[in-house]
Amino acid sequence: MNRKVSVAPMMDCTDRHERYFLRLISKNTLLYTEMIVDEAISRGDKKKLLEFNISEKPVALQLGGSSPKLLAEASKIGEDFGYDEINLNLGCPSRKVEKNKFGACLMKEPKLVAECLEKMQSATKLPVTIKTRIGYDDVEDYENFYNFISTIRSTGVKTFIIHARKAMLGKFTPKQNLNIPPLKYDYAYKLKKDFPDDEIIINGGITSIKEIKGHLDKTNGVMIGRAAYHTPYFLAEIEKEIFKNNDVLSRQQVIEKLIPYIKEETKKGTRLNQIMRHTLGLFHGQTGAGFWKRYLSENMCVRDADIKKIDHIMDKIQYKNLEARVG
């Protein structure tokens, strides 16, 4: 599994439509699902929750939960659906998540986390990984973080995705937790030195190729979050500069390739806005980007958007010369 660059699991963002869209831009970036709760998989519509387009691969399933039994069952189901990796969420800091005992609050219970991971690994042949913060509330010293990771390592897990901020449980909103706690990249760097044989992926506030290259000198991989969602064509730059692949579609070609997918999905009942909302940032930094966002917002990112308008979208791109600078 190539984890040199990946796109973070993001609630209400990295659904199957977003992943299909991003895969058109980047062939090599590893993609993650939104967090899916183990109990939802156990009791809910598994096909609706887990089905994805084969074109999205490689794609990892991120699970949320704290029941060893349910997480093990969900891991096996994820394997059966064709995912390439199972990831346990130990980093989400929202009040709802804490109330239901999953996410970052589990950093308080390393033995329970270890039990969950042991059961998950026994249930699937896929690699089981974790995504975690570096601490929580006032517990933010490196020694505590080191001990937490050491407990997890004892289960056989070898890949650790480190969001290099602590989580403020019940004190900040999820948005505040993405911005207010300071980034401490040195924790991930030190972890790599302490566990040189393990795979350490760094995450948090990374927005440029220069930053990615700098982190890759000290860790095994970089996970991109909001930058990938708000400026998705950043992945084309990553494809060229990091993966050394120049066979990249232009922005216009991405939309051309997306249209057949849109038509097929809308026949199944998917609404146009559920797909097109993910493309708002495609022309970021290009001439006419404001027109693109405005046109989508008014015509394709509304609940009752008319699918017939998709047939004219290429005319809109060409008319406004949106891609004056391809790259």
Amino acid 326: pLDDT: 39
Per-residue confidence (pLDDT) for residue 322, from 0 to 100: 63
CATH topology of domain 251-319: Four Helix Bundle (Hemerythrin (Met), subunit A) (1.20.120)
Report the C-alpha gap between 308 and 305 in whole angstroms: 9
Q: Quick one: pLDDT at residue 238?
A: 98
Give the per-residue pLDDT at 217: 98
| CATH number, span 5-241 | 3.20.20.70
Name the E strands within 183-276. 199-203, 221-224
Please give the pLDDT value at position 323: 55
Whole-model pTM: value is 0.94
pLDDT digits (tens, 9 = 90+) for 64-101: 999 999 999 999 999 999 999 999 999 988 766 656 78
E strand or H helix at 292, and its extent?
helix 289-299
The three-class DSSP label of residue 57 is coil
State residue 327's pLDDT score.
36
What residue spans in the chain does CATH classification 3.20.20.70 cover? Answer: 5-241
| Residues noted as catalytic | 92
**Nearest in space to 266 (alpha carbons), one of 215, 230, 311, 231:** 311
What is the spatial distance between Cα 34 and Cα 8, in angstroms, rounded to a whole number?
8
**What residues in the chain have per-residue pLDDT under 70?**
95-99, 174, 177, 319-327
Nearest to 233 by CA among 217, 213, 212, 255: 255
The dihedral of CA 100, 106, 108, 110: what is its sign? positive
Domain limits, CATH 1.20.120.1460, in the chain? 251-319
| Residue (of 153, 139, 129) closest to 203 by Cα position | 129
